[in-house]
Amino acid sequence: MPFIVSVVGQKGGIGKTTTAMSLAAVMSQVGRVLLVDTDPQASATWWARRAGTALPFEFVSDSMSTHLSQLRGLEHDVVVVDTPGSLEARTVLSTVIYASDLVILPTQPAALTLVPLLRTVSEVVAPRRAPFRVLLNIVDPRSRADSDEARALLDRHEIPYFEATVRRYRAHERAPLDGLVVTQYPAKDRYSLRAVDDYRKVAVEVLALGRSRLTAPMRATLDPGLPAVGD
């Protein structure tokens, strides 16, 4: 029975698909991972086709609710689901969220993205009693105040979030066009190394929230002290 992680968000430009693809790539280094694209916009599918056989995890595009309700019957260690970017696709969203062990909600630390996030939590995630965490994404490392203000807002609304954040890098913007995932960025580029490090830290937190028998060995392999790449 896999650990099922869904990535949810209604606001465009929050890095939903990048988060799904990147976490799948990082966790595929320590386990068998499947990414399921349920978004009608099919961004992950387009990206996967660009990557072709170089994609380090298994991939399928499927938005049929009858199939999605059977995710727990798969033999993978982790299933990552990229969900529809609109709250109008309630049937698919509901099916995926009910099946999920963890819902990840990426957001930029800005008011225009935090407001839709609060709506998504209150209208979609919380009513289904799904475990969830907010991921501060596309963070400008030069403006720590934005992240601090976002955390304060989430604290006021008693919304849990990851300690790790994902910084803004041009490599993430180019990755779909280049057909690359984060673990395949050029190793000679120090910014690419930092990008991998960000997602490794998020993945460790994700696996820490999973069923220990399944995810503890993966987390131990992925987290050998997590040496940080210099700022």
> Which residues make beta-bridge pairs with 103?
6, 132
Q: Are 102 and 162 in contact (CB under 8 A)?
A: no
pLDDT of 220: 86
Q: Retrieve residue 104's tokens.
A: 């990840």
User: What pLDDT is attached to residue 231?
Assistant: 41
User: What's the rounded Cα separation, in Å, for the pair 77 and 98?
Assistant: 18
Residues of the chain with pLDDT under 50: 227-231
* Residues 203, 161: Cα–Cα separation, whole Å: 13
The pTM of the full predicted model, rounded to 2 decimals, is: 0.92
Q: What is the pLDDT of residue 225?
A: 64
Cα angle 54, 58, 64; round to 5? 135
Distance CA 176, CA 169 (A): 13
* Structure confidence by residue, pLDDT tens digits, 217-229: 898 888 866 544 4
pLDDT value at residue 228: 43
Nearest of 132, 75, 87, 103 to residue 6 by alpha carbon = 103
Tokens of 47: 């990206």
For the chain, which domains are there? Answer: 3-216 (3.40.50.300)
